[in-house]
Copies of this chain bind each other. A is one copy, B any other.
Amino acid sequence: METILPKFDSVFSIDCVIFGFDDGELKILLIKRNEEPFKDWWALPGNIIQHDQSIDLAAERILYELTGLKDIFMEQFHTFGDVNRHPQGRVITVAYYAMIRLNGTKELKPISNYASKAVWIPVNDLPKLAFDHEKIFSRGFDKIRNKISYQPIAFELLPEKFTLTQLQQLYEVILSKKLDKRNFRKKMLNYGILKELDEKQKGVSYRAAKLYKFDKRKYAKLFQKELTFSS
């Protein structure tokens, strides 16, 4: 099939806002750029979309190349298209986000040398970022803040087994406010998507808390109900 479209020196890119939770802190994944422009600056993992790849696949590939992370389910949340957002020409970027579980020391190894390293950085302690990446991050943060308040998606960020207090801390970090312990527990347990385990927390110097697991089957049911209109 012949291409008869006009040609512009414009390109599409992808940028990824990947959230993780570790050590009581909400973090995002940043790379240190190894190329101009903004060489040696911190930036969101992002790169140019290949012309034979759908944007969703491009997002996966780019994240993998820059951080070594695979099989991360990302969702598009906004497209940024100001004319001068990239100093070298017109670049429209589609921003994706994901929330992932940091299984202890998940290794971050850039495959491409477009990034010199990839690191988890606490969202409350972000450095200056390249391009308009601060704006993109901020909108991505809004997105999860909004989403978490009507869908119990926080489990994606926690280890497989977690205590209710950990879950609550995560909510508090994302929503930036204190929550009432009793109400929080009541609500979460009422959803019916937590499985109480026979296990307890270990290695703490105070009363050990019960561990819970997230019940995917029940979650799917609840989620479906929420998508459907009642009555």
A contact residues vs B (CB 8 Å cutoff): 1-12, 48-49, 51-56, 58, 76, 78-79, 81-83, 86-92, 94, 149, 175, 177, 229, 231
User: 24 A-B contacts, Cβ less than 8 Å apart?
Assistant: A1-B89, A3-B89, A4-B88, A4-B89, A5-B11, A5-B48, A5-B88, A5-B89, A6-B11, A6-B48, A7-B11, A10-B10, A10-B11, A49-B92, A52-B90, A53-B83, A55-B79, A55-B81, A55-B82, A55-B92, A58-B81, A81-B94, A149-B229, A177-B231
User: Once the chains are docked, how many angstroms separate the CA of A10 from the CA of B50?
Assistant: 9
Q: Is the CB of A10 within 8 A of B51?
A: yes
A4 to chain B, nearest CB (A): 6
B residues near A56, Cβ cutoff 8 Å: 81
Q: Is the CB of A8 within 8 A of B51?
A: yes
User: Once the chains are docked, how many angstroms separate the CA of A87 from the CA of B3?
Assistant: 8
A33 to chain B, nearest CB (A): 15
A222 to chain B, nearest CB (A): 18
Q: 5 tightest A-B contacts by CB?
A: A55-B81, A3-B89, A5-B89, A8-B51, A79-B79
Q: Is the CB of A12 within 8 A of B92?
A: yes
User: Once the chains are docked, how many angstroms separate the CA of A103 from the CA of B63?
Assistant: 48
Q: Is the CB of A90 within 8 A of B1?
A: no
Q: Is the CB of B88 within 8 A of A3?
A: yes
A223 to chain B, nearest CB (A): 14
Residue of B nearest to A92 (CB): B12
B residues near A149, Cβ cutoff 8 Å: 229
Q: Is the CB of B12 within 8 A of A5?
A: no
User: Once the chains are docked, how many angstroms separate the CA of A177 from the CA of B228?
Assistant: 12
User: Once the chains are docked, how many angstroms separate the CA of A219 from the CA of B92?
Assistant: 34
With A51-B10, A92-B55 already in contact, the answer to whether A175 and B83 are too (CB < 8 A) is no
Q: Is the CB of B76 within 8 A of A79?
A: yes
B residues near A2, Cβ cutoff 8 Å: 88
